[in-house]
Amino acid sequence: MTGWRSRSSGLSALRPEAFGAQPRGERLARIRRSPHFADGVFQNPGGTARTRPSGSTLDLAKVFLDKDTRPLRSPAGTVPVHATTYADLAQPPTTGLRVTWMGHSSVLVEIDGHRVLFDPVWGERCSPFPFAGPRRLHPVPLPLAALGPVDVVVVSHDHYDHLDMPTIKALAGTDTVFAVPLGVGAHLEHWGVSADRLRELDWHESTRVGGLTLTATPARHFCGRGLRNTQHTLWASWSVAGEEHRVYHSGDTGYFDGFREIGAAHGPFDVTMVQLGAYSEFWPDIHMTPEEGLRAHLDLQGGAPHGVLLPIHWGTFNLAPHPWAEPGEWTKEAAEEAGQALALPRPGEPFEPAGKLPADAWWRSASAPVAHLRRRPQERPAPVGFARTEADLAGER
């Protein structure tokens, strides 16, 4: 019958483009051959990780909607963004390594003559819809077009706050190479990235881009963009090694013992970019607290303070019930106690890890006071979420 469409094709037409595409054909066959894929899904290191919030929906709603604590999850004033310009980045770093945190997990790393852009998210919301979802708490430090040429874009996984369709579409029109975990290439091809510019890796696989070696390393997280989470795209952390320098980007991950193995195989690192925001007691297996993030950095560096820790995955989007400034405040406190060098740049502020590190607690100008990180003596720090923080505060009162 003329004009007839199947129900499935009609539903496909209604599918938001930002959902991306499911792996098919040889890509899907390669996924099924992966040693990290079993029982129809990718498996996490260290055993099963809870990827859905624990506790009841009612308990979660009470925490997120609490009228007294909800305002603390956003800055009380203007976030002091560094107005990055092309001139800031036009001259090569004097030490061969320069890092610019653009907010959340987006980081430009200039390493040994190459430019690597991790998890670029320039969109206004981390959502498939332009009218709903978590919105930016500060503007991007500079337009994407003003960033200059990028040799390789590295994506850690396919969640909206790490893989942003409008940003990828803009970068698809450049000459950059995309390094992504296994299966994520289906999304990028759907959005216009040609297959010959994709480097799609399973854990422990490496690729060369110019003088850099990029290796996909394990992480403890999950994936998914659509209404059904099929767990058919991998998540990863990344090691990038140049002729003189090495860096690590954690993507999203819970704490696990594998950081030691990653450090032994690919470290030590001049700088680690470690996720330590958007944590909660409701999902302790898939995101790290500041103390866990510091512990991960030390594991990556062989167990002792070394290199520079750059906290990421905080400050830009409201994704968890902890106070907005808590990751910065708690990481600063924990790193000082451990004797670990810490970089605390404003979004968009370039720094060279071998030079003077940005160390000001810039968030305090836009934040209510944050409680000190509380620890129980002789106890391994547990994933600390909003509920424990409030209990500690109640005890202090």
SS (H, E, C) 179-226: EEECCCHHHHHHCCCCHHHEEEECCCCEEEECCEEEEEECCCCCCCCC
Residue corresponding to tokens 């770093």: 93
How big is the chain, counted in residues? Answer: 397
Tell me if 223 sits within 8 A of 234, measured CB to CB.
Answer: yes
Q: How many helices (H) and strands (E) does the chain have?
A: 10, 15
DSSP E strands: which ranges in 82-170?
A: 97-103, 106-111, 114-118, 152-154
Burial class (CB in 10 A: 0-12, 13-18, 19+), 32: exposed
For residue 233, what pLDDT is reported? 95
Share of the chain above pLDDT 70, in %: 86
Distance CA 204, CA 266 (A): 10
Average pLDDT over residues 219-225: 93
Residue 7's pLDDT band (cuts 50, 70, 90):
very low
Which two tokens mark 236? 């990863």
Helix, strand or coil, per DSSP, at residue 60: helix
* 25-29, 166-170, 232-236, 377-381: least confidently modelled range: 377-381
pLDDT in tens, 107-141: 999 999 999 999 999 999 999 998 999 999 999 99
Distance CA 213, CA 197 (A): 16
pLDDT in tens, 388-397: 332 232 233 2
Distance CA 314, CA 105 (A): 8
Q: Which residues contact 257 (CB under 8 A, 6 or more apart)?
A: 46, 299
- Which of 122, 105, 118, 73 is closest to 313 using CA atoms? 105
pLDDT in tens, 316-331: 999 998 999 999 999 9
H-helix or E-strand containing 309? strand 308-312
Residue 360's pLDDT band (cuts 50, 70, 90):
very high
Average pLDDT over residues 336-357: 97
Residue 104's pLDDT band (cuts 50, 70, 90):
very high
Distances in Å between the Cα of 76 and the Cα atoms of 57, 81, 325, 363 are 28, 15, 10, 10
Which two tokens mark 49? 């990780």
Tell me if 152 sits within 8 A of 212, measured CB to CB.
Answer: yes
Distance CA 327, CA 362 (A): 13
For residue 63, what pLDDT is reported? 66
DSSP E strands: which ranges in 8-75?
A: 37-38, 41-42
